[in-house]
Amino acid sequence: MIPEFLDEFRDELEKFKLESIKIKASPNSGGKPLSFTQSKFLGKPYLPTGIEYPKDKLGSPMILLAQINFAETPPLENYPTEGILQFFISPTEWYDMEDYKILFHKTIEGEYQRDFSFLTEELYGESPVYCEHTLAFEKNVEYGGYEDFRFDMDFGGKGYDGFQEKLTEGQKTEMDGILDGTGHKIGGYAFFTQSDVRDYNEKQKEDILLLQIDTDEEIMFGDSGVGNLFISPESLKEKDFEKAWFNWDCC
């Protein structure tokens, strides 16, 4: 995984190695909505009967931004191997990062809600995800993330950008592939267009990446931004996802 031109830094990079799950998001162009239980960005959620649909502080139905069915993902240490994680946001008030809801269903029940006719088209006008996406998952290895405050390595006395100045375009692409932290994923190193918000809050310094949704063909937070969910390692082990928190930034 580590390219030859980084051999002199191999031992140090190995210390930063983390596994993650890379997510490939593909717009659902088939016209047929995805099933209620499968992983997706946008679309209609799996919601057992008896559970009230989430509403924002204005009383409007929230929109499902992401649903991860962990039975469909490769195993990742301390992350669930089954159950459905859901991330809902307010259709209009999500920008302040306060009006959102995270649900986790440990098991999938046979009876669940199927009528979501109240989710009208106008609710999606300000959604950072523009259409329903199918998700495919692949285990991945990362050796750092230059915007993640935990990655404090230099390269022969030079920072990330300074070291890259002497590289070919192909080498830069290879280096970014294992160290830039971008893309949709579960776990691993987080990417920010501004700076790592955890670095300014002592209570958040131990929190790790739960889910990252990056700019894509039919996805954009603000101006080419990125959205993240973070959670403490303890809460993740306990599957207490109500304590996860949302952050987004853009250029």
Q: How do residues 10-57 score in pLDDT, each as one tens digit?
A: 999 999 999 999 999 999 987 788 999 999 999 999 999 999 999 999
pLDDT at 249: 96
d(CA 132, CA 206): 33
- Token pair 């995984």: residue: 1
Q: Which of 80, 102, 127, 123 is nearest to 244 (CA)?
A: 102
d(CA 44, CA 114): 9
CATH of the domain at 193: 2.30.320.10
> pLDDT above 70 covers what percent of the chain?
100
Alpha helices in the chain (DSSP H): 10-15, 160-164, 169-179, 233-237
d(CA 208, CA 241): 12
DSSP for residue 12: H
- Token pair 């893309």: residue: 183
Q: Are 17 and 142 in contact (CB under 8 A)?
A: yes
Q: How many domains does the chain have?
A: 1
Q: How many CA atoms lie within 13 A of 135 on its CB side?
A: 29
User: What tokens does 208 get?
Assistant: 């790790």
Q: How do residues 182-215 score in pLDDT, each as one tens digit?
A: 999 999 999 999 999 999 999 999 999 999 999 9
User: What tokens does 117 get?
Assistant: 């006719």
Residue 80 has phi, psi (to 5 degrees) of -60, 155
Run of H or E including 230: strand 226-231
Q: Which of 110, 104, 100 is nearest to 68 (CA)?
A: 104
> pLDDT above 90 covers what percent of the chain?
96
pLDDT at 21: 98
Q: Are 20 and 148 in contact (CB under 8 A)?
A: no
User: What tokens does 74 get?
Assistant: 């490769």
- How does residue 87 score in pLDDT terms, banded at 50, 70 and 90? very high
Q: How do residues 101-154 score in pLDDT, each as one tens digit?
A: 999 999 998 899 999 999 999 999 999 999 999 999 999 999 999 999 999 999
In degrees, rounded to 5, the angle at the alpha carbon of residue 1 between the alpha carbons of residues 12 and 247 is 75
pLDDT at 29: 82
Domain with 134, as residue range(s), is 4-249
pTM of the model: 0.96
d(CA 80, CA 236): 8
Q: Which of 84, 90, 41 is nearest to 63 (CA)?
A: 90
